[in-house]
Amino acid sequence: MPSTTMKPFNDVETAAVEAALKRAQTGRAAWIGPDPALHSQDAELRWVEAVLRHRLSLLTLGRPVAIRTGEDNTHPLVAGGRAFPAVALTIPFADRTLDFLATYNDDGRLTFDVVSPCHCCGKPVPTEEIDRLEDLGDYLLQARDALGGSPRFRTSPAHAAGCPARG
């Protein structure tokens, strides 16, 4: 849904928006099945990347989608953790990127947040939890009420010192 204030959507964004509109119309999200399993021979970063591909249904787009994956040295992998860094994932496009942070939530489930500038301090922080392609579509359509914000937003150490959004 390109407009004068928005760049046109790329393939992934278009698929996300279509999925979000379909969910809004039918009240149901597409069935995507269980996450890929972590096998002991897999490197964990590759597994995290595979889970993001699965949750966003990227394999169904019909063309390869590149994802850059690395450690995020600002955020811990678990809330309050010190030993392991979170995982940063970036989907690069010609004119922009989609950035995600992967951490474990309080239930021990691998969770993805889209990372975007804080509305107060401008630093890149986990803004919205994205569990599936439809969530990404809602985010792109700015239907944030439907999402409710990431639980990691207020606790992120990536905010500037003294940022009032951090609580």
Q: Is 118 in the site for Zn ion (CB under 5 A)?
A: yes
CB of 161 to Zn ion, least distance (A): 10
Nearest to 132 by CA among 119, 118, 146: 146
Q: Which two tokens stand for residue 13?
A: 């964004």
**Residue closer to Zn ion, measured from CB, 69 or 150:** 150
**Closest separation between CB of residue 152 and Zn ion, Å?**
12
Shortest distance, CB of residue 151 to Zn ion, whole angstroms? 15
- Of residues 39 through 78, those in contact with Zn ion by CB under 5 A are none
Q: Is 120 in the site for Zn ion (CB under 5 A)?
A: yes
Q: Check residue 141 for interaction with Zn ion (CB under 5 A).
A: no
CB 66 to Zn ion: min, Å: 29
| Angle of helix 11-26 versus helix 133-140 axis, rounded to 10 | 100
Hunting for tokens 């239907």 — which residue is that?
143
The DSSP bridge pattern shows strands 124-129 and 97-104 to be unpaired
Q: Determine, following the binding rule CB under 5 A, whether residue 165 of this chain makes contact with Zn ion.
A: yes
Name which position in 45, 78, 121, 146 contacts Zn ion (CB under 5 A): 121
Nearest of 93, 130, 114 to residue 19 by alpha carbon: 130
* Dihedral angle sign, alpha carbons of residues 103, 108, 110, 114: negative
Sites of contact with Zn ion (CB under 5 A): 118, 120-121, 159, 163, 165
